[in-house]
Structure formats: structure tokens, C-alpha cells
């Protein structure tokens, strides 16, 4: 009998899934359910890339989860589900570790929905759906904010009256599962760097940076919400709060309209008027696309400098995420004005997407490390559900 761990990343109408063996770290299969509802589509593939047939009810998250597991079950008839791990965007101010889900934790996490209204409710819906689909199977919540709870107070607060900080208005930081993976990878593969000052650039449709020292988060570009910091695919990044006041007072926009503007109509998409996909913008040849790229590169350079200042220097710059891992041009352009920080890339290595792309004479290492949030979720789920000991027994 094969015991497996299912990892879930639940969106408003999507479900990203991976299936891991209890005793291994390489996924058996991955998949995506898109457009949950009457017209949902599903794609499942095994670790060799072969399609896994799956069809059935996908009218809700719970139904989609059952359909996913039925597809995996038809591929591995002897499989039993040992635990389910979930990505949860917000864990609150005090949770620095991931946790087993119970009714009390679900209630606590629901109170955080106003802090992450576009993510948290859907994450929790995925947990409830999995609990309904697999009663008695351990569920584990893995928080994107947990990795950043080691921030010093000056990197955790805003200059507002202290009562707001106590009420939870503070800099949380996000993409923590990605940064947790990168921290563990450099600890095992480059411990001399892990002990030092590392800036990690998670660049994708969602983008942020984290300054780490000794493998711990010291500063992050994302703050109270996942809007802050770098421009993203459709999110604005850093914005003067006076702009929001202007939109309310002078343009008469509602909170919902402003939220839609900042989360869905801005960033690369808003600046280019074309696309939120960097690949499309790189080949577009329009002035607007070029300017959108220029702005993205400039803000990345600026935030690398800010992270280095927070760390008191920099020993390594690491790129990850869809853009960071795949766009040779963006990496080269970001690094081209950072020689004053000891950053110099080897263009041949960069073109080849090598793991180390800094030149031999560079004072600061530059690396490309593909991130793996699902692996972090699977390992945390295995440990918190007690599956390591059970498997050994």
C-alpha cells in the first residue's frame, strides 16, 4: 500500500495540487483544476510528464479535490491518503511555524481574512473542502507569513500610532514558503553563503524580495499586504497612500473599485496596456512594454539596495520565481547597475540558466535556484502529522 501526501494551493476558482510519497521528496504527480464551477478544466501529470486521466464533478472546491484524488487513485490503485497540506497566505502576527488544523485554528485564521481578502478566504475554503472530502485525515496549514516573523521591530512596524501595530497593522511579508525553501537549499548546498547576508528575489506574477541573515528573514519588500514593494503582473507594488486618498476623495472610487485597480489592473499589465506576462512584454516591441520592463528593473535594483542596507551588506543575490528563473534578460538588466555592490554576472552562464551566474572575480555571488513551495508544504505536513515516525515503524 502506497501512502501519500496531497498538497493544495486553493485560489478563488483554481486548485493547484501535488502528490508526494510519505517517504520521499520528489512529487509523484502535479496538477491544476482551473475555473472551478460548471466549466472547470483539470490537468494531472505524473512525475514523468505523462497525463493522468481525470474527470468528474468540479462544481466546488470539495468536489474538485475528490475528482483529483480519484484521478490519482486510478493511476495508483493501492494509494491511501495519509495527510493533506495547505498553503495559507496569512498566519497572523505570532505564528512563526506551520500548524495542524483544528476547529480553533480555522476560526483564528478566518479572523485574518480582512488582512488578505483576495487570498485567505479561498485558502480556508480549500481546507474546509479537504476536511469534508477526507474526514479523519490530518490537515496541515503552512503559512506564507511564518518565515518573516523573525523581523526586527523596525522592519515590522509602520510609523502609525502604536495601537494599530497591536491591532495587527504591521509588515507581515509574504512568499514565505518560497523563501523557506531557498533558505534550506543554500544551507545544504552553500552553507558559507547561508550564514551570511543573502538577498532573494522571488520574481514572478507575484514578486517580492527578502533579506536573510543566517537563514532568517530580516526584511521583506512586501508589507501589510501582498500589494507592497515590487511591481507585479497586475499588482501595483509600492504606492504613496495619498494616491488611495485621492482616488476616494477626488475620483469617487469605492473600496471595491480601488481594490480591483490595485490588485488586478496595475503592475506590468497596467503600465504596458498589453499583458502581465514578462515573456509577452519582452517580445512586444512597443514603447509601453519597454517602459513597463524599465520600471520593473529599476524597482528591483532599488529594492536590492534597500535589502542590502537592512542587512548591512550583501554576500549573495539569488533569483527564483517564474521571471527570476527563466528571464535571462531581466536578470542581466537588474545586475548591470549593481557593480558597486560587487555584483557582476557571467553572461555565458546567465544565458545557459546556470545555477551560479556570477563571474569568477565577482565579490558577490549571484545564483538561480528554482523554488519549490510544494516541497516545503509536503515536508511540514509529514512532520506535523507524525508520518516520519509512523513510516519508520
CATH number at residue 135: 3.30.420.40
Residues 226, 324: one domain?
A: yes
Grid coordinates of 9? 494551493
Q: Which domain covers residue 48, as residue numbers?
A: 2-143
Grid coordinates of 103? 476547529
Residues 47, 196: one domain?
A: no
Residues 264, 319: one domain?
A: yes
Residue 55 lies in a domain: yes
Strands, DSSP E only, in the chain?
Answer: 2-10, 14-21, 29-34, 41-46, 79-88, 99-100, 139-143, 197-202, 208-213, 216-220, 316-320, 365-368
Residues 240, 139: one domain?
A: no
Q: Is the pLDDT of residue 264 over 80?
A: yes
Task: For residue 144, indicate whether it is catalytic.
Answer: yes
Residues 112, 207: one domain?
A: no
Q: Helix, strand, coil: what percent of the chain each, to 5?
A: 40, 20, 40
- Nearest CA-CA partner of 301 in 264, 336, 261, 251: 336
Q: Which of the residues 57, 102, 144, 228 is marked catalytic?
A: 144
Residues 67, 198: one domain?
A: no
266-302 per-residue burial string, b: 16 or more CB within 10 A, e: under 16: bbbbbbbeebbbbeebbebeeeebeebbebbbebbbe
Residue 175 lies in a domain: no
Instruction: Name 361's Cβ contacts closer than 8 Å, sequence gap at least 6.
Output: 344
For 119-168, the pLDDT digits (tens) are 899 999 999 999 998 999 999 999 999 999 999 999 999 999 999 999 99
Residues 97, 218: one domain?
A: no
Gap between the Cα atoms of 150 and 183, Å rounded: 14
Residues 201, 136: one domain?
A: no
Residues 211, 343: one domain?
A: yes
For 196-238, the pLDDT digits (tens) are 999 999 999 999 999 999 999 999 999 999 999 999 999 999 9
- Give the pLDDT band of residue 393 (cuts 50, 70, 90): very low
Q: What is the pLDDT of residue 391?
A: 45
Residues 225, 136: one domain?
A: no
Q: For the chain, give the mean pLDDT.
A: 95
Residues 129, 241: one domain?
A: no
Amino acid at each position: 500500500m502506497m501512502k501519500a501526501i496531497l498538497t493544495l494551493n486553493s485560489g478563488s476558482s483554481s486548485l493547484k495540487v501535488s502528490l508526494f510519497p510519505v517517504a520521499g521528496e520528489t512529487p509523484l504527480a502535479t496538477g491544476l483544476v482551473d475555473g472551478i464551477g460548471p466549466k472547470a478544466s483539470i490537468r494531472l501529470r505524473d512525475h514523468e510528464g505523462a497525463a493522468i486521466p481525470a474527470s468528474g464533478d468540479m462544481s466546488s472546491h470539495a468536489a474538485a479535490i475528490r475528482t483529483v484524488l480519484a484521478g490519482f487513485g486510478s493511476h495508483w490503485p493501492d494509494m491511501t491518503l495519509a495527510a493533506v497540506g495547505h498553503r495559507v497566505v496569512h498566519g497572523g502576527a505570532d505564528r512563526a511555524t506551520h500548524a495542524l488544523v483544528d476547529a480553533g485554528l480555522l476560526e483564528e485564521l478566518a479572523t485574518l481574512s480582512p488582512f488578505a481578502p483576495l487570498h485567505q478566504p479561498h485558502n480556508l475554503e480549500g481546507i474546509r473542502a479537504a476536511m469534508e472530502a477526507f474526514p479523519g485525515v490530518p490537515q496541515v496549514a503552512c503559512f506564507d507569513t511564518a518565515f518573516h516573523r523573525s523581523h526586527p521591530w523596525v522592519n515590522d512596524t509602520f510609523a502609525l500610532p502604536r495601537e494599530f501595530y497591536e491591532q495587527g497593522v504591521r509588515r507581515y511579508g509574504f512568499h514565505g514558503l518560497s523563501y523557506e525553501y531557498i533558505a534550506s537549499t543554500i544551507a545544504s548546498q552553500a552553507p558559507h553563503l547561508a550564514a551570511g547576508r543573502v538577498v532573494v528575489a522571488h520574481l514572478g506574477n507575484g514578486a517580492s524580495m527578502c533579506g536573510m541573515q543566517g537563514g532568517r528573514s530580516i526584511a521583506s519588500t512586501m508589507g501589510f499586504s501582498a500589494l507592497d514593494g515590487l511591481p507585479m503582473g497586475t499588482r501595483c507594488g509600492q504606492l504613496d497612500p495619498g494616491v488611495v486618498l485621492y482616488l476616494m476623495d477626488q475620483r469617487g472610487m469605492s473600496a471595491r473599485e480601488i481594490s480591483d485597480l490595485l490588485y488586478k489592473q496595475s503592475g506590468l499589465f497596467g503600465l504596458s496596456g498589453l499583458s502581465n506576462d514578462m515573456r509577452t512584454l519582452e517580445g512586444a516591441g512597443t514603447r509601453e512594454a519597454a517602459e513597463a520592463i524599465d520600471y520593473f528593473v529599476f524597482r528591483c535594483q532599488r529594492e536590492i539596495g534597500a535589502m542590502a542596507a537592512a542587512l548591512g551588506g550583501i554576500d549573495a543575490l539569488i533569483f527564483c520565481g517564474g521571471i527570476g528563473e527563466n528571464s535571462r534578460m531581466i536578470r542581466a538588466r537588474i545586475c548591470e547597475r549593481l557593480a558597486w555592490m560587487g555584483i557582476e554576472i557571467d553572461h555565458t552562464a546567465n544565458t545557459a540558466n546556470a545555477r551560479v551566474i556570477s563571474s569568477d572575480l565577482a565579490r558577490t555571488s549571484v545564483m538561480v535556484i528554482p523554488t519549490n513551495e510544494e516541497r516545503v508544504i509536503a515536508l511540514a505536513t509529514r512532520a506535523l502529522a507524525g508520518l516520519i515516525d509512523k513510516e519508520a515503524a
